[in-house]
Chains A and B, each alone.
Chain A
Amino acid sequence: MHGRPRKAPKPEDEAASSAKAQKLRALQTQFFSFHHNKIYTKEAVELSAKLLEINPESYTAWNYRKLAVEHYLNLPDCNPDSIKSVLDDELRVVENALRQNFKSYGAWHHRKWVLSKGHSLIDNELRLLDKFQKADSRNFHAWNYRRFVAESMKRSEQDELKYTEDMIYANFSNYSAWHNRSVLLSALFDKKAEGFLLKEKVLPEEYEFIHQAIFTDPDDQSGWFYHLWLLDQTVTTDSPLLASSWPGHGSDVLLVGDRCYNGSAFSPFSALHSDSGSFPIVLYFNQPVRGVNSSTVTVECGFNKNEDLLWKPLSASNSQTARVWVAHLKVSSSDLHSTVEVSVGHTKGIISTRGFEYSHPSMLSFKVHVQPMERDSSQVSVAESISLREENFKVYGKQSEESIIDSFDQLIIKNGHETTASNWRFEALAKEIECFRELLSLVDCKIGKLTLARLLKAYDAMSYPFANKLVHSEEVLELYSDLMKLDRTHYQFYKDERSIVLLQKYKDSVSSAICGPICLRLNNLSLSRMGAFEKLLWVQMLDLSHNELQSIEGLEAMQLLSCLSLRNNKLRSLTALEPLRKLKLLRILDISYNQIGDHSIDTTRYVCSSPLSHSVGSELNRDETVTSDVALINNWEAFYIFKDFNLNQLDIVGNTIADEKFKSVLVKIMPKLKQLDGKLLD
């Protein structure tokens, strides 16, 4: 029951509970003997009822009763009347158990099971629920069950919506009611039910509704949760959109062989060093999608017509759903200049996680110029020529950065028709921003500040195609700084959020940030988290050194990365490096002076949804050469992370883990490695 303080048990309570335990134990012993001997006599079944009345949490007893019911229903003299009486008995037992503890999972589940037999009147259930929900209006078991009952009864969502409204009017501190409201509205939106066809008609009313709760009591969190859901409904477009791509629309790509970073006749801004005879095409959607394949995305180019490209999802989990998709297009050296056209979504099949179809077919076209390979010279140490030394950034210094940004924007603007058609989203956000500024002028409220920051960010993100500047970033940064001071418990969360804003803002003021079209320097920014990847797809050399990164989730989107410095960050484990496994072009990696190996427990594995714990075993087993090597088994994490790397150069010094033994393992895992911690390998 909510709102009742917990009291320490008194001695007499403890005596009572031990007496109860005594009684329960006796009952239980007898019950188990019936259960094991499959005895379903009246007496035995009644005993289980007695047990459940005292302890509704006894799952075995519930299961026993299910078996007993099945037993009765299969008796030869079974008729509709006796079925009904057996099932009614079950309902009665459940009700008694719920009276004892109406948060018993087993009891609620049993009730569902009985009803699913289809012999009981569902109408009684609403009456029972009214009773339970009156006793505790926030009891989520009852709310869950209510959804089940409403569905079985085919009760309209509109009626249930009205019910949530009544419950909210009675007491608006009710997470369950607000939650159910969001569930019901989602269903109505999906169904395109009458009156719910246009979100822009429904959402403003919901905003109005939730404002009453938030302003009445800003300290009550239940309303804020619903507001967050509304915000998501406002910001997220139904159908997924292509947020960015590499190569950008209208861009020129120069493909060169191993040592052709200089001496090119072309503008070097999109020059890509490729030694595999292929280059990646990256599609970045604004929400996770599935169904990206050679029929939904067609690629036409001079050198390879209608090639069946293999599109791979880039996500932390191994699901077939991802924001970022990549395919590798093979280049033939016979055709030096060619135009590639990528058509996205002209055939249906790209579908968001929420089930919406990609519905804005778009086309990217870019030119590819191939620089003939100079195989003979490829053995010259690349390591010397590309590293993140200062002078390299100078070499690849600002050139034609404008054109990158332009092409990037063109893509977005092509998608702009969706945005212009949804002016209401802007208006809704603007209204919310105004509303919460007012609230904050009245009270100092953490969650209000966080919400305002979210709103401003969403507003900026939405207006990006039209305004090149994130107009609110200063205000957002200030809000997060404030929150970091106000709410120490969630300091890291605010810092992470702040980092992303900082990054976007930094990206936004392009002129000072990009040292070259392919190199990006984001060092010394106190970043604790990375973001804005969709704007960074073109980066080949990235300096993230001297930040406070604990995770580099999302970095897998930067498929062109060949050179990455994570020097002097706060990475704590090898598993934190997992996104790097997907970077096929990565040759130079600096993870020196992090905290890998400091902590015996790898928290990354619990924080991120890493496939590691599930997949690594099988992968190890398949590779027999590895299982025979004790050193590798002991370092399976390292093996898992590094075995797919094509690194030429690695810096790992300054991590606890990086002792000599470990280094020797690394060398074994990565035979292609030429340089480790600045030392050339044989």
Chain B
Amino acid sequence: MDDIPPYPPIDPTTFDLIVIGTGLPESIIAAAASTASKSVLHLDPNPFYGSHFSSLPLADFPSFLSSHSTSPSPPRSPSSDDPNEFSLLEFATRPLYSSIDISTFSPNLLDQHSRKFNLDVAGPRVLFCADKSIELLLRTGTNQYMEFKSVDATFVGDNKGNLWSVPDSRAATFKDKSLGLVEKNKLMRFFKLVQGHLAGEQDVKISEEDLQSPFVDFLNKMGLPPKIKSFILYAIAMADYDQEDTGVCRDLLKTKDGIDQLALYNASIGRFQNASGAFLYPIYGQGELSQAFCRRAAVKGCLYVLRMPVTALLVDKDTGCYKGVRLASGQDIFSQKLILDPTFKVTLPLGSSPPLPLKEKLPFFSLKDDKGKIARGICITKTSLKPDISNFLVVYPSRSLFPEQVTSIRFLQIASNLAVCLPGMFVLYISALCNDDDQGKKLIHAVMNTLLTVPLDSESNAAVQSETAEIGSAVQDETSESSSGGPSDSGEEKPTLLWSALYSQELTLGQVDFICSTPMPDGKLNYNDLIDTTFKIFQEIYPEEEFFPETSLENPEVDGDASPET
């Protein structure tokens, strides 16, 4: 990326809004602002859409991570002020990924087919069929640029490698083989209670006192057995932290929130006829979302320039107010508002304190760093963990793998029918919240060791050779069986790891002022919180404007949003 091609000049040079970075929040804001008839310039230093929300070819994945892992180089001495009226504040990149650990056990094959992979940087992620991202897609007509498939099932895993299907609906409860009759009855009665409460039935109203109490207490009060409690808390309400250990739980779910989560889940099941479960996954990966909103913005007149780094911020010398940005091409572009990708931070010149007006205006320049991190892992295998299902979600509730595990580990297997990898292969996304990199690694490794066979280095050459040959033929013959037996039960062979990437990601929150920073991908499965933040940022910069007004609806809701399973 150092080899920057010559840039054609951008015309016009003044915009209402400049957005830097094409991550999902930036793309949504660009689309919303364009829809509100603002002139928008959307820049990205990368040659692809999506930034930290993108889906990347295999070969590009390590370089993307490492390009965001180095500490910022100390800012060059402030370039002597231009003869004009602006001060220049240089951009620096912040290290967002650490402890990057890429292992390749089958180099030839994967190199050859690198472009066949679309690996999500922010995985594992799914869309709930009734969540805010789907609402936004439908409301804005952005769904026309995307196709989805349903994630077939959710499981809860244990340390023996078993995967228990989550009875998340009436039909699933009926079908479930692991629950006893009494458990089924208790679970369904709880679901009915929640449904009745949500429907506003008077006789089943959950009291305000209960709603404000911890969800786990309410579940106990309802007499739900531990197994079901765990299903509800971690696999349906998707709690991140151990809800039964207040010492370690940083996010204790209230009954009210738990019930909202259940309502979302419940509304998601069966929303689309051809989606069997609660979740959807975009064909070609999560990066498609950002791209779709960019297309949406472009339709509304937003100007796109990729491969265009921004070097500095232009600030009014006297007032300290933001004026515009200087591009890598040297061109200065002006706008009233600026949205920044979390990659960037603005560093003040060493040893100099900003002019007084600037200091007042720039409290936001230091992005708020959340203390927590999220550990992510991507594994590629050539056998499914479940012989009969290829796309599914697994939750390992806290303490399910080892006693010190305080956060849930989530795990998503996506197969080649979603166009994310070579035919016959599977991509496994793992994530868990953690305090530091070591803890994160331990969490990710715990899942990998439970479910996968990691080839030993000493043997790797020989093993990998034969592996490669085998897969080579599999690739040629797409119809060859995709699963060679179920690994989850008993001592059957676990899928062998072909490639893995482990890394820790900083959790930064969005920042709101006249220059705004968008947040990094959070630790959630869906985009609800991110969309909330995005909405707030938009409101902050354009308080007068509606966020995708209803009239902008171009395509009426398409029923078959999820494309049919084939």
Contacts and interface: CB of A to CB of B under 8 A. Distances in A.
Interface stretch (B185-193, B303-311, B318-326, B408-416): B185-193
A213 B188 CA distance: 11
Given A169-B174, A170-B171, A172-B171, A217 B188 contact: yes
Contacts of A212: 174-176, 181, 184
Contacts of B185: 215-216, 218, 439, 442-443
Contacts of A216: 170, 173-174, 184-185, 188
A169 B276 CA distance: 12
A215 B181 contact: yes
Contacts of A169: 171, 174-175
Given A442-B186, A443-B189, A172 B181 contact: no
Contact of A438 (B174, B176, B182): B182
A38 to B, nearest CB: 47
Contacts of B171: 169-172
Nearest to A168: B174
A211 interface: yes
A383 interface: no
A217 B181 contact: no
B170 A438 contact: no
A438 B181 contact: yes
A33 B174 CA distance: 56
Nearest to A435: B181
Contacts of A439: 181, 185
Interface string A185-216: 00000000000000000000000000111011
B507 to A, nearest CB: 40
Given A211-B181, A216-B173, A218-B185, 19 more contacts: A169-B171, A169-B175, A170-B171, A171-B170, A172-B171, A172-B174, A212-B175, A212-B184, A215-B182, A215-B185, A215-B188, A216-B170, A216-B174, A216-B184, A217-B170, A217-B188, A435-B181, A438-B181, A439-B181
A542 B174 CA distance: 52
A532 B171 CA distance: 42
Interface in A424-445: 435, 438-439, 442-443
Chain A contact patch, size range: 10 to 19
Contacts of B170: 171-172, 216-217
13 contacts: A169-B175, A172-B174, A211-B181, A212-B184, A215-B182, A215-B184, A215-B188, A216-B173, A218-B185, A442-B182, A442-B185, A442-B186, A442-B189
B456 to A, nearest CB: 43
Given A435-B181, A438-B182, A442-B182, A213 B174 contact: yes
A405 B105 CA distance: 85
Interface in B184-209: 184-186, 188-189
A217 B190 CA distance: 11
Q: Is the interface of B mostly helix, strand, loop or mixed?
A: helix
Contacts of B176: 212
Interface string A201-245: 000000000011101111000000000000000000000000000
A438 B175 CA distance: 20
A222 to B, nearest CB: 12
A443 B193 CA distance: 13
Contacts, number: 42
Nearest to B183: A215
A433 to B, nearest CB: 14
A351 B545 CA distance: 84
Nearest to B188: A216
A49 B181 CA distance: 53
A215 B171 CA distance: 12
B291 to A, nearest CB: 34
* Nearest 8 A/B pairs, CB to CB: A215-B181, A215-B185, A216-B174, A216-B184, A215-B184, A216-B173, A172-B174, A216-B188
Contacts of B184: 212, 215-216
Contacts of B186: 442
Interface in B510-565: none
A451 B524 CA distance: 47
Contacts of A211: 181
B171 to A, nearest CB: 6
A439 B183 CA distance: 11
A217 B174 CA distance: 9
A439 B176 CA distance: 18
A169 B186 CA distance: 20
B260 to A, nearest CB: 24
A367 to B, nearest CB: 56
Contacts of B188: 215-217
A330 B364 CA distance: 115
A34 B24 CA distance: 67
Contacts of B173: 216
Nearest to B186: A442
A215 to B, nearest CB: 4
A172 B176 CA distance: 13
B554 to A, nearest CB: 28
Nearest to A171: B171
Contacts of A170: 171
B235 to A, nearest CB: 18
A175 B562 CA distance: 30
A213 B181 CA distance: 9
Nearest to A169: B175
Interface string B210-248: 000000000000000000000000000000000000000
Nearest to B173: A216
Interface centre among B173, B175, B182, B185 (most CB of A within 10 A): B185
Nearest to A213: B174
A211 B170 CA distance: 14
Interface string A573-589: 00000000000000000
Contacts of A218: 185
Give the most central of A172, A211, A212, A439: most B CB within 10 Å: A212
A171 B169 CA distance: 10
A170 B172 CA distance: 9
Nearest to A439: B185
Contacts of B182: 215, 438, 442
Interface in B142-188: 170-171, 173-176, 181-182, 184-186, 188
Nearest to A218: B185
B392 to A, nearest CB: 17
Central interface residue in B174, B181, B185, by most chain A CB within 10 Å: B174
A259 B182 CA distance: 67
A136 to B, nearest CB: 13
B286 to A, nearest CB: 30
Interface in A446-484: none
B170 to A, nearest CB: 6
A560 to B, nearest CB: 49
A439 B184 CA distance: 11
Contacts of A435: 181
